[in-house]
Amino acid sequence: MTTTAETSRSRPLGLVRHSAVLAKRSLVKTKRSPGYLINGVMTPVIFLVLFLYLFGGAVSGSTDSYLQYLFPGILVMTTSLSGMLATGLNLNIDVKKGIFDRFRSLPIDRAAPLLGSVAADVVRYVVAVVILFGIGYALGFRVQSDPLSTLAAVMLAVVFGFCLSWVTVFLGVLVRDEGAVLAFSFVAFLPLVLGTSLSAPVDTLPGWLRAWANVNPVTHAMDACRALLNGGAVGDTVTQTLIWSAVLLVIFCPLAVLAYQRRE
């Protein structure tokens, strides 16, 4: 009889390899049923079109200049929304479908299913962002800065979405009901993504909303992307976004892994 125990000890980087195998699984599933991915792009696009033609004239005088203002925020909305939905929900479904038990009975690191799923998310964000840029360009959005800043904006949005996703990962593992995860994501979506500089500059907002938008990390991410794509002054927005991302990651990633390990 060949024993797997021997082969496994002779192959290094288990966590990375196992996470990659599980990320591939997740992507194969997205390819077969791309509903969530499409949903994750369409929701921001609907907001984009809605805001553009509803407020464009009022806020910026013309839809063209408003599109330049709006698009970077929609970019962050796309990655945040995908982050809030995908992994938390997928993991929750895995637990319920029982495949979670399969993973847990295998000699793999308990973090591998989480990392695999989140890594697949990053690929999904990139696909979503590419589609979004396509639609943005079709509507008339043009990057005003250089390719490097564009890349930085995209990466910042993806990193932010990735770090934010650990909140719902934690929730997806903690809560039994997938409806609850979904409900949380939608409830959190409103203040988190809309209570920002998304549709109008923060100083034009009413006082209470301004106070919230100013502390909301999503605002920083949107401001940073706007500056990077439109060539404005970046200021400390990028640093703020990165600090917030790190904070979210450092708190919720260990919590999620712990909750995943604890579940029976």
Partner 1 sequence: MDFAFQAEGLVKRFGKKTALSGLDLAATAGTVLGVLGPNGAGKTTAIRILATLMRPDEGRAVVGGFDVVTHPSRVRRLIGLTGQYATVDEELTAFENLVMVGQLLDMRKAEAGSRADELLRQFDLQEAGKQRASVLSGGMRRRLDLAVSLVGRPQIVFLDEPTTGLDPGRREDLWRLVRTMTAEGVTVLLTTQYLEEADALADHICVIDEGRAIADGTPADLKQIVGGQAIVVRPVDPQQTDVAVDVLEQVAGRRAEPVDRGVVTVPVDDDRVLPEVIQRLAAADIRLAEFSLRLPSLDEAFFALTGRSKEARR
Q: For the chain, how big is the Rg over CA atoms in Å?
A: 20
In the list 59, 70, 95, 108, the residue contacting partner 1 (rule: CB under 8 A) is 108
- Our finding on whether 190 is near partner 1 (CB under 8 A) is no
Tell the smallest beta-carbon distance from residue 4 to partner 1 (Å): 4
With vertex at residue 168, the alpha carbon angle to CA 194 and CA 177, rounded to the nearest 5 degrees, is: 110
In the list 15, 16, 23, 25, the residue contacting partner 1 (rule: CB under 8 A) is 25
For residues 34 and 232, which CB has a smaller minimum distance to partner 1 in the complex?
34
- Our finding on whether 34 is near partner 1 (CB under 8 A) is no
Dist CA 6 CA 1 (whole Å)? 12
Identify the DSSP state of 236. T
- Our finding on whether 35 is near partner 1 (CB under 8 A) is no
Which parts of the chain fold into alpha helices (H)?
A: 4-9, 14-32, 35-60, 63-97, 99-105, 112-139, 147-174, 178-189, 207-215, 217-230, 237-262
For residues 142 and 262, which CB has a smaller minimum distance to partner 1 in the complex?
262
In the list 35, 98, 206, 207, the residue contacting partner 1 (rule: CB under 8 A) is 98
Dist CA 128 CA 123 (whole Å)? 9
CB-CB contact of 171 with 88 (8 Å): yes
In the list 35, 58, 107, 215, the residue contacting partner 1 (rule: CB under 8 A) is 107
Quickly count: other Cβ atoms within 10 Å of residue 8's Cβ.
11
In the list 46, 54, 57, 101, the residue contacting partner 1 (rule: CB under 8 A) is 101
Task: Give me 33's structure tokens.
Answer: 């049923």
Q: What is the DSSP string of 105-145?
A: HSSS-TTHHHHHHHHHHHHHHHHHHHHHHHHHHHHT----S
- Our finding on whether 257 is near partner 1 (CB under 8 A) is no
In the list 33, 148, 208, 233, the residue contacting partner 1 (rule: CB under 8 A) is 33
In the list 36, 49, 55, 103, the residue contacting partner 1 (rule: CB under 8 A) is 103
- Our finding on whether 264 is near partner 1 (CB under 8 A) is yes
CB-CB contact of 168 with 255 (8 Å): no
- Our finding on whether 2 is near partner 1 (CB under 8 A) is yes
Dist CA 234 CA 241 (whole Å)? 11
In the list 99, 151, 187, 246, the residue contacting partner 1 (rule: CB under 8 A) is 99
CB-CB contact of 154 with 118 (8 Å): no
For residues 102 and 142, which CB has a smaller minimum distance to partner 1 in the complex?
102
CB-CB contact of 81 with 40 (8 Å): yes
Tell the smallest beta-carbon distance from residue 6 to partner 1 (Å): 10
In the list 54, 97, 186, 211, the residue contacting partner 1 (rule: CB under 8 A) is 97
Tell the smallest beta-carbon distance from residue 107 to partner 1 (Å): 4
**Binding residue count for partner 1, defined by CB under 8 A:** 32
Task: Give me 40's structure tokens.
Answer: 């994750």
Question: Residue numbers of the site for partner 1 (CB under 8 A)?
Answer: 1-5, 7-8, 11, 14, 17-18, 21-22, 25, 28-29, 32-33, 97-108, 112, 264
